[in-house]
Structure 1
Amino acid sequence: MRLLSNLLKRFVEKGQLTVIDASGQRHVFGSGVDGPSVTVRMHDKKLEKELFFNPELVAAEAYMDGRLTFEDGAGAFELLHLFSVNRKGLAAHPVQQALRRAWRSVRRFQQANPVGKAKENVSSHYDHPAAFYRLWLDETMAYSCAYFREPDEPLADAQRNKFRHIAAKLKITPGMTVAEIGSGWGGLAIYLAKCGAHVTAINVSPEQLAESRRIAQAAGVADRIDFKEIDYRHLQGKFDRVVSIGMMEHVGVSHFDDYFTTVRNLLAPGGYAMIHAIGRMSPPGTTGPFIRKYIFPGGYVPALSEVFASTERVGLWVDDCEVLRLHYYWTIRAWRRNFMAKRAEVDAMMGERFGRMWEFYLAAVELGFLHGSNMVFQLLLSQQRDDVPVIRDFIVDEERALLAREHL
């Protein structure tokens, strides 16, 4: 335990971590105040050294494999909560600093998403059965940040708020053509179609497309949505509006210019785009090893400096930027609670190791939006400076009109 103890003594300042090693000896770290108290048990000696050299990845894998377990009713959330309130101490350790420098040096390779590879990366996450997602998402099947009027608003209502908020920003009128890059389970495309738009919705996940077509048919708008299995770089045509929700995170820093050039080229004269994506308020960084390996291979959450540098290079006006700071924390908190309530069904459907992996993922990202640097940004982009109304009041006016129509 010498190496690992050296790390944990410097890392755990708030709260308390009790480690029961493979021989049964207990080691206690931390003050016990201003944070949670967690007890973990390590089931083999090798784990001590492995955790020292790469704790973020190894802790997750050890939990997935049953080599690390929790005592006293704790779970991944409690361990990651302890980690999140002590993250500065871990980041300051020389070994962890060296790891981050190494990750940063190869991040363009890690985030490479050429045509074909991008589909493979996306499929690894989104081509799980729709029935799995249905267990813990709300009835809208929206798998992106919701828009909460109140922190405890029902998730389905908050997701409908998000659709309405986006439609208002797009200023949708009947007959408009809309290209949606990364259509998810189809919820936004269906909402925009109900507003009278004709939507071309693209995705590279066959599972999501099949479910989206079924939902659109049930909603009575299948004739107004063309779902296509195509990479965004291959979409052609001109559209009054372009919208992309939760897609830019899958592009990779080397492909930002490709992405924004595609958005620009798809816009008809006078049209504009709306981009909704996860970002970071901190400087450019890397994707954590667990998320990169198991959850979103090829994914990266950009700093706004990287986003704006790309829009500058491709010649797009950033007409509006809204930052949603706690909305995704509230969203993922609801997902994790739903997931844990259905955990037995998840394990039966997907296997216990998968269930532990997904538990770790949801806990990690929830806390990343509470204690970390993650947030969500929404941009309005255009080729000309006056393609978007120059006063923001139109967003509120459009949103109220849409809400009134929904209540008719």
Structure 2
Amino acid sequence: MTTCESSTAAVSSATAPQAAVDPGRWPDVATPPGASRVRTAVARAMVGRALRQLPLRAQFGDATVVGQGGPVLTVHRPDAFHRRIGRYGLVGFGESYMAGEWDAPDLVAALTVLAAHAGDLVPAPLQRLRRLWALQRPREQRNTQGGSRTNISHHYDVSNDLFALFLDDTLSYSAAVFRALPATWDLLAEAQRRKIDRLLDLADVRDGSRVLEIGTGWGELALRAASRGARVTSLTLSREQRDLARRRIDAAGLSDRIDVRLCDYREARGTYDAVVSVEMIEAVGAEFWPVYFRTLDQRLAPGGRAVLQAITMPHERMLASRSTYTWIHKYIFPGGALPSVEAVAEAVRDHTGLAIARRDAYGAHYAETLRLWRERFAEHTDDVAALGFDETFRRMWTFYLAYSEAGFRSGYLDVQQYLLTKEDTRR
């Protein structure tokens, strides 16, 4: 489409039974790959070397224990585990969990240790040869306009009912801002509204403001902006999100103030007093960051404000892994790419006339947000199954939430709120 559509736990034993995997639905999970003996041996040696240096306690099979102590990781089927890593690296590590070949009584704790040492798990000489051994991102996941629609649909169109099981009543799928940590579930909706109000305050959204939202979500930010008297144009590539957002907007009686469009950000037109984009840049792709930031600049009226919420990673790790194909790309967010603080600053400086007026980080709040989502998802296992999602999917989603939480708990990931300003040259 080229024209925007518009309208108003306990540790498992070493002999635990393998998870039942549907080979039609999960072909790469159902059967371990036929990795060569050399690759498997190298993987076994590298995994052993890495674990011996970590504060983990990894048990392989019935007897072998590796690590310096700490969170427990139990590998039920060492041969399959090493074959997957030998053939597919960290993609294989995640697939091995999906297959039930390894487990951890505290999955987040174990993954947090691994995330904290992400830069040290592969020896430096091999890091320098990363392009020779790491899986490369497939070209079909590039975030062209057609590619972006496919990539977004893969995740966000999976099921509104699924997301509703573990998100709070605001259906906000981004980091909340709590008054204090640790957080509790009953405070999550309030913390999400606080986050949204803070973003709208930074953007100076008020009665009469013209607001462009890039990335609708399920409509909560648009609703709160419209309740201030703003007129909102909200863009999304997810049909499921668009449809539910429209229903929520109609129910609130605000359809005359909010226009939800099935539209790529590159197709946006007009100028606005404020542009707001919450955790959208992660789906843009590094190749298109200059286009994304130029779009913010072009759509923003002189004197206007753009506000972003963005997940970031360390600059050196971003550079090292920018072309690597990961488990997250394969199963959760195809085409995704996390910027660094330095990369955002560089894109704003080199491709726009905007200025970064403020940046606030609050990664610990994202860790708590993810913990609450993960716990809620676990509480609704039967409901997830009733929606038609099998055990492999449930393990995949559990791993995704725990993997993400571990990234923030270790400090490997952070989340930023940015205020970008545009000078009014008409004065």
Q: Relative to structure 1, is the Cα distance of residues 262 and 4 closer, same or farther in structure 2, using a 3 angstrom cutoff?
A: closer
1:6-405 equivalent positions in 2, closer than 5 A: 6-12=45-51, 13-20=54-61, 25-32=62-69, 35-42=70-77, 45-66=79-100, 68-70=101-103, 74=105, 76-77=107-108, 79-92=110-123, 94-95=125-126, 98-99=129-130, 112-153=142-183, 154-283=187-316, 284-285=318-319, 286=321, 289-314=326-351, 315-349=353-387, 350-384=389-423
Q: Distance in 2 between matches of 1:168 and 1:101?
A: 47
Q: Secondary structure at the match of 1:376?
A: strand
2:204–2:305 Cα contact (<8 Å) kept:
no
Contact 1:189/1:199 (<8 A) preserved? yes
Unaligned runs of 5+ in 2: 1-39
- Count of aligned residue pairs for this structure pair: 376
CA distance in 2 between counterparts of 1:310 and 1:184 reads 24
Instruction: Summarize the Cα distance change of 1:332–1:101 in structure 2 as closer, same or farther, 3 Å threshold.
Output: farther
Quote the residue 1:403 is aligned against.
Answer: none
Please give the per-residue CA displacement for 1:282-322, whole angstroms capped at 9, x wherever unaligned: 33333661011111111100012111111112222112222
The question of whether the paired residues in 2 share the 8 Å contact of 1:319 and 1:380 is answered with: yes
Considering only aligned residues, what root-mean-square deviation do their CA atoms show, in Å? 2.4
- How far 1:46 sits from its partner (Å)? 4.5
Q: Structure 1 counterpart of 2:295, which letter?
A: T
Note the C-alpha offset of 1:267: 1.3
Q: Distance in 1 between matches of 2:313 and 2:117?
A: 19
Contact 2:203 2:306 (C-alpha < 8 Å) held by counterparts: yes
Question: Could you tell me which amino acid in structure 1 is paired with residue 256 of structure 2?
Answer: D
Q: Partner of 2:211: helix, strand, or coil? A: strand
What stretches of structure 1 of length at least 5 have no aligned partner?
388-408
> What is the deviation of 1:347?
2.9
State the alpha-carbon separation in 2 of the partners of residues 347 and 77 from structure 1.
23
The offset of 1:83, in angstroms, is 2.5
CA distance in 1, matches of 2:244, 2:328: 25
Amino acid at match of 1:37: V
Shift in Å, 1:161:
0.8
CA contact (8 A) 2:58 2:65 kept: yes
Counterparts of 1:351 and 1:75 in 2: how far apart (Å)? 22
Identity %: 34
CA–CA distance in structure 1, aligned partners of residues 182 and 109 of structure 2: 21
Q: SS at the partner of 1:90?
A: coil
Residue identity matched to 2:237: V
1:127 maps to a residue whose letter is: D
Does the 8 Å CA contact 2:312/2:341 hold for their aligned counterparts? Answer: yes
> For the Cα contact (< 8 Å) 1:181–1:244, is it kept in 2?
yes
Tell me the amino acid that sits aligned with residue 332 of structure 2: I
TM-score w.r.t. the length of structure 2 is 0.82
Q: Which residue of 2 aligns with 1:405?
A: none
The 1-side partners of 2:286 and 2:89 are apart by: 25
**SS of 2:256 mapped into structure 1:** helix
Q: Secondary structure at the match of 2:315?
A: coil
How far is 1:164 from its partner? 1.2
Deviations 1:73-123 (A, max 9, x none): 72644542443355354133655664467659x569586211111110011
Residues 347 and 354 in structure 1, CA contact (< 8 A), matched pair in contact too: no
Distance 2:394 2:407 in 1: 20
Whether contact under 8 Å (1:11, 1:87) holds in the other structure is: no
Matches of 1:39 and 1:97, distance apart in 2: 30
Distance 1:295 1:253, change over 3 A: same
Are 1:84 and 1:367, in contact at CA under 8 Å, matched by a contact in 2?
A: yes
| CA–CA distance in structure 1, aligned partners of residues 181 and 141 of structure 2 | 33
User: In the aligned structure 1, how far is the partner of 2:396 from the partner of 2:130?
Assistant: 22
Give, in whole Å, the separation in 1 of the partners of 2:113 and 2:305: 43
Q: 1:100 to 1:155 in 2, by over 3 A?
A: farther
Q: CA separation in 1, counterparts of 2:283 and 2:133?
A: 21
Equivalent residue for 1:398? none
